Amino acid sequence: MKQISFEQIEGKASRLPDNPRVVVSGNFATPRALLRAVDRSLPTYILHMLNAQGELPRREGVIYETTFVGPAMRKAPGLRYVPCRLSLVPVLFHRRLTPHLVLLHTSTPRRGHVSLGLEVNILPAAIEAVRRRGGLVIAQVNPRMPHTFGDAEIPVEDIDYYVEVDEPLSTHDLTTPDDTSRIIGQRIAEKVPHGATLQLGIGAVPDAVLGGLTEHKDLRIWTEMFSDGILELEANGCLNEDQPLTASFVFGSQELYDWLDGNHWVRVMRSETVNDPGQIQKQRAMTSINGALQVDLSAQANASRINGRIYSGFGGSTDFIVGALHSRGGHAYIALPSWHPKADKSTIVPLIEEPVTSFQHSAIVTEQGLAKVFGNTEAEQTRQIIEHCARQDVREELWEAAHRLGRV
């Protein structure tokens, strides 16, 4: 790993083929200063990021590519969305979407290693793929990036060049859940047994679920990501101290980042481990909680598209739903409000017209109630969804649709 200046990056980038694929840390770990320098050096390139946040280079010659669409790429013209389970994205790097340059945001070196800190995810696979084909790995080394362990630690020999940048990390502060999210979160929390393993995302409902678990004991964490709610569980003695907290990325407050730095209790692992359904099913009472945009009377969920346009993607929900259902005592919950306020319509619909993201969950939960899905007949699933998930004023319409569809 050799230090270079931003001015020297242009010379390094000139070695790349025309229109190279550049894989960059996403989520809240994007190396923004390094990405700007590379953008100045390449007239055209493919920018591949997972759940991209904040400002990105947006000009002619930059093509966005992703397997999970974040806010920074959403609605971008020419976006290349590649449908894929998160556990299989590393396979894409080796077979189809081979990178030419990988840009990382890391900690400063310790004992011959830097740490990927807040995000590991698909990055180790990208590093392996780019090194196999003789491409480049460049790191933005930041003393503010927490040093995390597991697959987060990268030998300095695996990085070709680095630039030093001391800048604050992006943060996401915990917010108070709204009434609808609080009700949904409480319904799910009541179903979580002591000693369960949790997969929770970011947002009002996951925060509300965690808020309802402060009396639980012996909880374990095996999840794509976690945020500040973990700190409250630790403070209340809810977590099993003998089991490492396992995730593939983290984002939250500066307090959370300070807690992560040098914390051997936390393992930040690569996606093909964390999202492997075979590994997920081994976790005790695996409890997976994911959101959706719509659910229909066949218990199918759409979490990816709005009016035909890609909104997010599969992410890891399909991996965790399958793994959780195979776990002994495990459950997979889909959580959503029963009504979409902006569209002013029910999120419980007769039949989803968008591509289906997932199906066959343990239960579907709204602020109206909890519908049991797994193990019930199609007719009983339909009854549960209408009577326990939909608003009262749309139930008659849904029953009429159920008869037309032959669901009852």
- Residue ranges of domains in the chain: 2-164, 179-404
Whether residue 162 contacts residue 4, with contact meaning beta carbons closer than 8 Å, is answered with yes
Look at residue 338 in the predicted model and tell me its pLDDT: 97
DSSP three-state, residue 363: strand
DSSP state of 212: T
Report, at the CATH architecture level, how domain 2-164 is classified: 3-Layer(aba) Sandwich (3.40)
Residues forming beta bridges with residue 331, ordered by sequence position? 287
> 109: how many CB neighbours lie within 10 A of its CB?
18
Rounded to 10 deg, the angle between the 204-211 and 179-189 helix axes is 50
Quick one: which H or E segment has residue 225? Answer: strand 225-226
**Do 2-164 and 179-404 agree at the fold level?**
yes
Report d(CA 261, CA 152) in Å as an integer: 12
Report d(CA 163, CA 269) in Å as an integer: 25
Catalytic site positions: 224
Structure tokens at 384: 């549960």
pTM: 0.94
CATH topology of domain 179-404: Glutaconate Coenzyme A-transferase (3.40.1080)
Whether residue 30 contacts residue 53, with contact meaning beta carbons closer than 8 Å, is answered with yes
Report d(CA 321, CA 342) in Å as an integer: 28
Q: Within the chain, which residues score under 70 in pLDDT?
A: none
